Amino acid sequence: MPGTAAKKKRTARFNVRLSEREARLIRLGAERLGVNVTNFILDSACVRAAHEIAEARHFELSAKDWRRFSEALDRPAKVKPRLQRLLAESTILEQS
């Protein structure tokens, strides 16, 4: 992902407040990589966001917990009458 930020058209904007120490740290990091501060922040934030999203999708279980999890997934779904009624109702978007 690094190095790709400058090639895309940017229309969205984030405004952040930071301390002098944080600003200095970010500037030094950008200088070390030879990129401007905007690209440094954008690339760093995107890498972190992708990591956080991946972590939310990946989890590890013990053998016992994995067996219980698999069994729960394999069980037939239970009929939930209240949920069926709710999902049968039109949404606020459909009512407009």
**Rounded to 5 degrees, what angle do the CA atoms 31, 32, 38 make?**
45
Q: What is the pTM of this model?
A: 0.53
Phi, psi of 89 (to 5 degrees): -70, 150
pLDDT digits (tens, 9 = 90+) for 22-35: 999 999 999 999 99
**How many domains does the structure of the chain reveal?**
1
**Contact assessment for residue 10 and residue 46, using Cβ atoms and an 8 Å cutoff:** no
pLDDT digits (tens, 9 = 90+) for 1-22: 455 555 678 899 999 999 999 9
Range of the domain at 34: 5-95
pLDDT digits (tens, 9 = 90+) for 62-89: 999 999 999 999 999 999 999 999 999 9
Cβ neighbours of residue 80 closer than 8 Å, sequence gap 6 or more? none
The total of other beta-carbon atoms located within 10 Å of residue 79's CB is 7
